[in-house]
Amino acid sequence: MEIRRATTVADLLAAEHLYDGPPREDWAARFLASPGHLMLIAYAEDGVPAGFVSGIEMLHPDKGAEMCLYELSVDESHRRRGIGRALTEALLAEARERGCYGAWVGVDTDNTPALATYRSAGSVDEGVFAMHGWPLAGDEVRG
């Protein structure tokens, strides 16, 4: 397995089978052009993307920079082989290189596989929190 940073729209589109829904070229281009956004892709021996982790570097005037692990996905046929942990650790290494003071991820408390992956990569449970959202666009924008 090899982990590489996605640098082209083609890299992002090649990982389509790992996303929750179909990617769009314009969103992929915007993702790559956005400062602080990154995606690391794990490639299987045959060169096909086996998993990815995306991160967003967040900066605040009184806190400095931290990394948000936005999404982690591993193809079902490649799970339980350490790919998720390796991707998480690669994102943490990138965060250290960028000078981030910390990293975080929001995860459902009943997502046992994700919790095990993050713990295996050294995460610490920082407690329960509530997440609130504001839907700002309808389905016609997303799809």
Tens of pLDDT, residues 69-92: 999 999 999 999 999 999 999 999
Tens of pLDDT, residues 58-67: 999 999 999 9
Q: What is the pTM of this model?
A: 0.89
CA angle 26, 29, 30 (to 5 degrees): 85
| Three-state SS letters, 59-117 | EECCCEEEEEEEEEEECHHHCCCCHHHHHHHHHHHHHHHCCCCEEECCCCCCCHHHHHH
